[in-house]
Amino acid sequence: MSEISGFTLITIALVLAAEFVNGWTDAPNAIATVVSTRVLSPHAAIVMATGLNILGAFSGTAVAQTLGKGIVKSEVINLETIAGAMVGIVVWSTLAWWRGLPTSESHALVSGLAGAGLATAGPEVLIWDGWRKVLIGLAFSTFLGFFGALLLATIIFRIFFRARPGSVRRIFGRAQIASAAFMAYSHGSNDGQKFIGVFALALFLGGLSPTFAIPGWIIWTCALTMGLGTAIGGWRIVRTMGLRLTKLQPVDGFCAETGAALTIELASQIGVPLSTTHTISTAIMGVGSTRRFSAVRWGVGREIVTAWILTFPVCGFIAWVVASLLALGR
């Protein structure tokens, strides 16, 4: 193992900065609905989310493997590629967070790696099989998130059609704690693994690891960094997702969280990286649509979707510029 270089340390710090921003903008989606329905206080929800995100991150490494060596060819990229991608993520996600808009760190990460990879190694750097999984994840988060939550909400509403509102609130107030815990765990099992894979890749490219490997200390480091980001800056995204998009009751939150978590867990088991932001957003829209179409504030939804669409070109472009400049400075 070679001696650690200054640029390797900078690159690792940038990976952790991107993971911290992930805690700002993406991890809060796991607890947005349980906070907005007042089933849990923000403090209690953040503590729960941090712990279960860590637990979920330890549930497997299939997604980390896909992100670490399945999007771009690790044998033709370098630390400048990783650094450029991380700068793109941090800049774009921070700007979106400032506007209170949740961003997809999945989309930011793959587009950042692609943009930086194109700058350092050309078109042959892209791996189609990994991008195929990204496209599958996009379909999962859009359709399974929306229709899964909508179907679950429809079934539950029919079962409890004659129940008193107070009884329904008490039942699903308790149930939503479990669904929020499931959502936080599933977030860790998918989103929590993404930067773990990039961290491991940075160690390999920096000569600090002879092979691409994911030891437990990397998982702990990334998971705790993400949890810290959620604790410090997550409230802006909680407000957008839980309060602005549609009015939620505990039963709505239970359906959205359960539908989204099942979709995410399915993707995690087959190594498909998907956007938890995208999944919980479409799930909330699906639940809101069961009451009436106008129950969803589609103007807010349009802002969120616009941020998703812009993520690919903006992060890719920033990463390409940064990686190109770093390559010139070598």
Lowest mean pLDDT among 55-59, 173-177, 250-254: 55-59
CB 232 within 8 A of CB 24: yes
What's the confidence (pLDDT) of residue 90? 94
Residue-wise pLDDT tens digits, 122-163: 999 999 888 888 889 888 888 898 999 999 999 998 999 888
What's the confidence (pLDDT) of residue 1? 44
Please give the span between the terminal C-alpha atoms of the chain, in angstroms, as a whole number.
22
Q: In the predicted model, what is the mean pLDDT of residues 35-49?
A: 80
Residue-wise pLDDT tens digits, 60-70: 777 878 777 78
pTM more than 0.75: yes
High-pLDDT (> 90) share of the chain, %: 30
Indicate the pLDDT class of residue 238, thresholds 50, 70 and 90.
low
Report for 23-27, 105-109, 324-328: range of highest mean pLDDT: 324-328
**SS3 state of residue 328:** helix
What's the confidence (pLDDT) of residue 65? 80
Residue-wise pLDDT tens digits, 196-226: 889 999 999 998 888 888 888 998 898 888 8
Q: In the predicted model, what is the mean pLDDT of residues 36-64?
A: 80
CB 121 within 8 A of CB 73: yes
What's the confidence (pLDDT) of residue 96? 80
Q: In the predicted model, what is the mean pLDDT of residues 191-196?
A: 81
pLDDT value at 85 more than 80 = yes
CB 259 within 8 A of CB 283: yes
Structural domain boundaries of the chain? 6-328
Report for 228-232, 302-306, 319-323: range of highest mean pLDDT: 319-323
Residue-wise pLDDT tens digits, 94-117: 888 777 676 778 889 999 999 999
72 phi and psi angles, rounded to 5 deg:
-130, 155
Residue-wise pLDDT tens digits, 244-291: 556 778 888 899 889 999 998 898 888 888 888 788 888 888 887 786
Q: Which long-range contacts (CB under 8 A, 24 or more apart) does 293-299 make?
A: 295/246, 295/247, 296/245, 296/246, 297/244, 297/245, 297/246
Give the C-alpha separation, 72 to 52, whole Å.
Answer: 30
Residue type, 7: F
